[in-house]
Amino acid sequence: MIAGREERIFLLLSIFIGIISGLLVVSFRMAIDWLNVLLLGSSPGPRQLRLIIAPTVAGLVIAVLTRFVFPQVRGSGINQTKAAMYIHNGYMSIRTVIGKFLLSALAIGSGQSLGPEDPSLQIGAGAASLISRKLGLSRARLRIFAPVGAAAGLAAAFNAPISAILFVIEEVIGQWSAAVLGSIVLAAISSVVVARWFWGAEPMFRIPTVTLRDPRELMAYAVLGLFGGVASLVFAKALEYLRPKLRSQPAWSQMLQPAAAGFLVGCIGYFGLPQVMGAGYEAIDQAMHAQFAWKVLLVLALFKIIATTLSFSSGTPGGMFAPTLFIGAMLGASVGSFEKIFFPHLTGSIGSYALVGMGVLFAAFLRAPLTSVFMVMEVSGNYSIVLPVILANTIAYLISRSLQPVPIFELFTHQDGMDLPSMEEQREESNLHLEDALQPITVPVLQGSETIAETMRSLGQYGELKDIPAILVHCRDGLWYTAKREELMTLLSSNPATDAAEESPEIVTLEEKLGGERTPVLFPDLPLASALPHFQRWPLLPVTNRAMRGALEGAVSMEDVLKRYQQR
């Protein structure tokens, strides 16, 4: 397929991918709800034997199908999408997409402590991969459409297009261009339109408008950020320890692990905490409306960490988003409930603390700080909460980074034997600029307005030129020309002009001899790598001031650039 045709259909195809992804995610969520009612009943409660039987039996089925039919469905789906983009040129098999849909729906519907958002991301990416392959798009386009579909799937699952766009940029691709961003935006919006056609436009959670009348209340949100950072560390360490332990067991043991995890999670529900089973959105809503005591909220958060660690480490397919939001909401609601009891003069609602807690765990555990802020605002439709969210999320994120240097998704890639790019490292990496390698001008500088005779006299002032690598010529248009010594001497001794008057060295100027070619215009703040393509043509690159056209700040050579990179 020629490039022109690809360009014409690119944006239109993004909308189509968004619609297909939205329909798949809606079907996925409906399958989860149907299986949940079928297997656990319409109102699961303690002491119901089905809470143990359903996840145990479903775990056996999942283990068999994962081993013999869908071997690539383990995990949340985020690293698998990154692997498709960076390792497999955007390829994701239709079998994996079908397996992710079926087994994740069965796992979450049967009560495993996992969420639907991450699988939705992979389902969207898989749909985009299949569609783009069927249309015969180029390899470069195939790579692009994986994150486009991922954004569409996540946007439909969250009913939040901005959060999905930001998360895909923050965690999947790390950087973006205008063309990629346009496709991601169109796909995300299209999928959300489809989702809202079925579910409506109401946000997932509703809380009253947050009004900060007492600045001291920010201290309570800061404490929540501290607790969230510590809780994310506990959660990450539990997964870091248990997941590789279970994966190193014999194959026959791994066949039993999803069932064992289902049994243990079911026991937690059977003996009094059915709220930790499944995604847990109903329990989050209850916590926001102050239906739990603060001690119960802390217990729910603790056992959600345990249940999710068991479910995810066993290889059961499912996501980490919903459990992360659950744990954060319970922590936030517990801080809010504690405040209401011991500091009744503060005016914050328990719902606002629960909502901020969701963002806190999202920022600290999943290490997506920008997404966490917009996610809280989008799932609540409440933009008055932005100040507490930013404060608490920043504290939690900084604590998490200092205590757990390796982000959780990067940790999973290492455990799986892959080496995918770390988006957090890319964000934190200090980029080198031309000013970092800039050197003072030590070569001859000539004026392009000089005649050939004047140029020869100017060069004579420098004596022997054999040790000079290049000569800079400042032309009357403010631009520069860099000439090698041999090139300039050859140019000065030649006489290409045909007009007798122009052949005189007293009349012909240096820049007329040089012609219209000029060195590229470079500024000190440009990336250092931007100079590399030009060294094949130019031995020395002048770097000029942005405020004064043609004013030299210095120059860089290939040797200067390489030496600066070696010093990093």
Among candidate residues 353, 388, 420, the one where a domain is terminated: 420
The whole-number pLDDT of residue 175 equals 65
In a domain, 290, yes or no: yes
In a domain, 210, yes or no: no
Among candidate residues 420, 454, 474, the one where a domain is terminated: 420
Residue type, 462: Y
Tell me, yes or no, whether 506 and 558 share the same domain: yes
Tell me, yes or no, whether 444 and 530 share the same domain: yes
Find the distance separating the first CA and the last CA of the chain, reported in whole Å: 42
Distances (CA, A) of 520 to 6, 69, 436, 438: 31, 57, 18, 16
Tell me, yes or no, whether 286 and 174 share the same domain: no
Tokens 């690539």 label which residue?
Answer: 72
Per residue in 165-204, pLDDT (tens digit) is 989 888 887 666 666 788 899 999 999 999 999 988 777 7
Tell me, yes or no, whether 407 and 451 share the same domain: no
Q: Under a CB-based contact definition with an 8 Å cutoff, are residues 332 and 353 in contact?
A: yes
> Within 13 Å and on the Cβ side, how many CA atoms surround 372?
32
- Burial (CB < 10 A; 0-12, 13-18, 19+), residue 251, is exposed
In a domain, 553, yes or no: yes
**CATH (domain of 394):** 1.10.3080.10
Task: Pull the structure tokens for residue 226.
Answer: 């501290």
Q: Interhelix angle for 350-365 vs 369-380, to 10°?
A: 150
In a domain, 209, yes or no: no
Tell me, yes or no, whether 25 and 58 share the same domain: yes
Tell me, yes or no, whether 408 and 446 share the same domain: no
Number of domains in the chain: 3
In a domain, 426, yes or no: no
The whole-number pLDDT of residue 339 equals 82
Tell me, yes or no, whether 159 and 291 share the same domain: no
3-state helix, strand, coil in the chain (%, to 5): 65, 5, 30
Task: Pull the structure tokens for residue 110.
Answer: 């049967």
In a domain, 248, yes or no: yes
The whole-number pLDDT of residue 349 equals 82
The whole-number pLDDT of residue 305 equals 97
> Within 13 Å and on the Cβ side, how many CA atoms surround 238?
20
Task: Pull the structure tokens for residue 35.
Answer: 């299986």
Sign of the CA dihedral 107, 109, 114, 119? positive
In a domain, 428, yes or no: no
Tell me, yes or no, whether 402 and 474 share the same domain: no
Q: Is 65 helix (H, G, I), strand (E, B) or coil?
A: helix
Spans of the chain below 70 pLDDT: 1-8, 174-179, 208-213, 347, 422-430, 462-466, 494-506, 568
In a domain, 427, yes or no: no
Tell me, yes or no, whether 31 and 116 share the same domain: yes
Tell me, yes or no, whether 269 and 191 share the same domain: no
Distances (CA, A) of 39 to 34, 36, 107, 186, 320: 9, 5, 11, 37, 22
What's the pTM?
0.83
Tell me, yes or no, whether 363 and 496 share the same domain: no
Q: How far is it, in rounded angstroms, from Cα 327 to Cα 333?
A: 10
Tell me, yes or no, whether 412 and 438 share the same domain: no
Give CA 543 to chain center in angstroms: 34
The whole-number pLDDT of residue 437 equals 92
**CATH (domain of 441):** 3.10.580.10
The whole-number pLDDT of residue 498 equals 44
The whole-number pLDDT of residue 491 equals 75
Radius of gyration of the chain (CA): 31
- Give residue 21's domain range: 3-199
Q: Under a CB-based contact definition with an 8 Å cutoff, are residues 190 and 13 in contact?
A: no
Among candidate residues 392, 420, 448, the one where a domain is terminated: 420
